């Protein structure tokens, strides 16, 4: 009699354990999967007008946002302000390739050391020094393999002690950047299409700053400009596009 009682209790215990196992497994399988990270948002308001007579469905407005490190002469900016580049490209009516520049948007980045090389100078409202990129007037964004074409920049030099016209790469001598893709690109979203990639160029020359008034020589000496070698830029970028038939009417 006692043996039968013990067997019934053991069977009941095994049944409870099995039920708990099923319940836990069911709970685990029902746990929601982590939500994917939302795709970054992009602004298409700088998309330029495309040439007359082209097919809007075959023309793309391309937007690229990037940040990274920049070395100009003797100064390194470990992380420059985010930069957004917008342009359009597509086939011309005669079948040739076409591109139209849109815009470059960015902000100033403080130059370590400030105007006179003082480690605290970049935080001084008077001695501080910043550079802000501007479009240099020429670009060719068609890629061939890992070569990502040509992009020219000017850097406006900002300081209370310098005139507004102080520019690195002024006139017909902008800084010519020829980026090469580094590593593999990563598609992080299909709708909208978003591709992440890295790129770099360590072979461009940087001219002396011009239009900087009486302190121009001091500035160039402190920055180590002109610099034919030793300059570099590395980018971490996100790229997207929309065809012009997908853009809202203007």
Q: Angle at Cα 241 formed by Cα 63 and Cα 98, nearest 5°?
A: 85
Entry pTM: 0.80
Counting Cβ atoms within 10 Å, is residue 134 exposed (0-12), middle (13-18) or buried (19+)? middle
Per-residue model confidence as pLDDT tens digits over 104-129: 999 999 999 888 766 554 555 557 89
Counting Cβ atoms within 10 Å, is residue 31 exposed (0-12), middle (13-18) or buried (19+)? exposed
What's residue 228's pLDDT?
Answer: 97
In this model, does residue 61 exceed pLDDT 80?
yes
Per-residue model confidence as pLDDT tens digits over 163-207: 999 999 999 999 999 999 999 999 999 999 999 999 999 999 999
Dihedral sign computed on CA atoms, order 46, 110, 157, 196 = negative
What's residue 113's pLDDT?
Answer: 86
Q: Quick one: pLDDT band at residue 158, thresholds 50, 70, 90?
A: very high
Q: 214 — phi, psi (to 5°)?
A: -60, -25
**CA dist., res. 115 & res. 215, Å (int):** 9
In this model, does residue 1 exceed pLDDT 50?
no
Q: Angle at Cα 231 formed by Cα 239 and Cα 218, nearest 5°?
A: 120
Specify whether the backbone of 57 is left (phi greater than 0), alpha (psi in -120 to 50) or beta. alpha
């Amino acid at each position: 009699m006692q043996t039968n009682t013990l067997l019934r209790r053991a069977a009941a215990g095994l049944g409870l354990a099995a039920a708990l196992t099923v319940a836990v497994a069911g709970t685990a399988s029902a746990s929601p999967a982590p939500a994917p990270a939302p795709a970054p948002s992009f602004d298409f308001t700088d998309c330029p007008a495309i040439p007359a007579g082209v097919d809007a469905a075959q023309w793309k407005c391309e937007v690229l946002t990037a940040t990274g490190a920049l070395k100009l002469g003797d100064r390194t900016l470990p992380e420059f302000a985010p930069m957004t580049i917008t342009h359009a490209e597509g086939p011309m009516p005669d079948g040739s390739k076409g591109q139209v520049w849109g815009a470059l948007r960015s902000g100033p980045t403080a130059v370590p050391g400030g105007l006179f090389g003082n480690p605290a100078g970049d935080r001084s409202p008077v001695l501080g020094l910043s550079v802000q990129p501007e479009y240099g007037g020429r670009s060719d964004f068609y890629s061939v393999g890992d070569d990502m074409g040509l992009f020219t920049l000017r850097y406006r030099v900002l300081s209370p002690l310098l005139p507004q016209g102080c520019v690195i790469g002024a006139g017909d001598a902008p800084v010519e950047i020829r980026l090469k893709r580094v590593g593999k690109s990563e598609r992080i979203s299909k709708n909208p299409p978003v591709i992440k990639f890295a790129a770099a160029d360590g072979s461009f020359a940087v001219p002396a700053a011009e239009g900087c008034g009486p302190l121009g020589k001091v500035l160039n000496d402190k920055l180590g400009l002109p610099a034919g070698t030793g300059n570099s830029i590395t980018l971490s970028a996100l790229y997207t596009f929309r065809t012009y038939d997908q853009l809202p009417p203007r």
